[in-house]
Structure 1
Amino acid sequence: MTERRSPTIRRRRLGAELRRQREAARITIETVAEQLECSASKISRIETGHTTATPRDVRDMLRIYGVVGAESDELVQIAREARQKGWWHPYSTVLVGAYVGLEAAASSIRAYEQQVVPGLLETEEYASAMIRAARPDFSADQVAQRVRVRLGRQSLLTQNDPVDLWVVLDEAVLSPGLLQDRDMTGLPASG
């Protein structure tokens, strides 16, 4: 099986390894920040994977921790790879959180849905209808952008090494008549 490349996973892996190295060297975040002339919150965000570190930041951090040679070179290379943009980057105004980046790195996905078709299996028309129903205030362009993201995620199912997807659907998902008297939350519609 091929390794799935995701900058999100690389950023988190790098952050965890940098934290491990810092703690092994018994150095505080504040000390690192002072030596790099940056804020402690920047170091913390790098270690939690919320901020992408530059290869130079990583090299400088590892120098402070006393890490050199092949181990340092490998982590600097991970920093370079973590800076690459995932397919979802153009949609960063639509997407919040790391879900799509984690999904892109997954080898298998399991889902159970009681009321809707999961995004990885939605048609363009279904996705559009669901988004419009949930957010009637969205413009046609906003709906179209979100539909493109949902359809883009589906490449996981058609790539050379597709994700192993298992989905369990409640009968209500496949039988629209069961839901016709319910609103989007699945609760009886108020009349």
Structure 2
Amino acid sequence: MSDVENAYKQIASFLNNETEKTLLICGIADEEKHRALLKALNARGRSKGLIFLIHTTKDGMENFFRWAGLYKVKVPKKYGQSMQLSNLTIYFDNLSTKSSSNKYDNYAFDFMIVWPMQSVTKNPKEIQMLHEMAERQKTKKIIYLTIKEPWYSPEPLKPYVDRIVTLDCENDNPKEYQRIMAAYEEDHIHQEQRNRFY
């Protein structure tokens, strides 16, 4: 089974699980992660969800689909308007992690995607805030989706979720995996050298 198929199966299993509420999808295969998630959500039939954009500008709606390699998707003109993607009705909103947001506590969406996660991974207070928000939510499934790994590690978030799916595509696309890891290694070495000088 390919890495993508395996991740897709795990995501589908989480969506069907009655007791698990929160999922972290991480790993360096960004486009594949986004696609596997959308495909698994779509396979469940008609459902409504919210994509909560963390610290993003207005083009965050388009950027979400760009990361999935979907460039022709028409996004709403503004937050709060719905859009259709096959079986999915999707709403977008901006999530500020500077203060606690109770905005959607009384809405029971089928799913909520919190994206992108990299900005909160270095801030324990923001992770705690997301955890508390997930606890309060009536929404059935809350999914944290990362980008830009390994530069941003989702490690601090892991204790707060019911399930973790990692998709690196190490077996599906070993060349790309090696390229990303080598680039990260190089950056890491340069960073350490810079730190020594300052």
Structure with the greater alpha carbon radius of gyration: 1
Same fold (TM > 0.5): no
TM-score when normalising by structure 1: 0.24
Larger RCO: Structure 1 or Structure 2 (Cα < 8 Å, ≥ 6 residues apart)?
2
Q: Tell me which protein shows more helix as a share of its residues.
A: 1
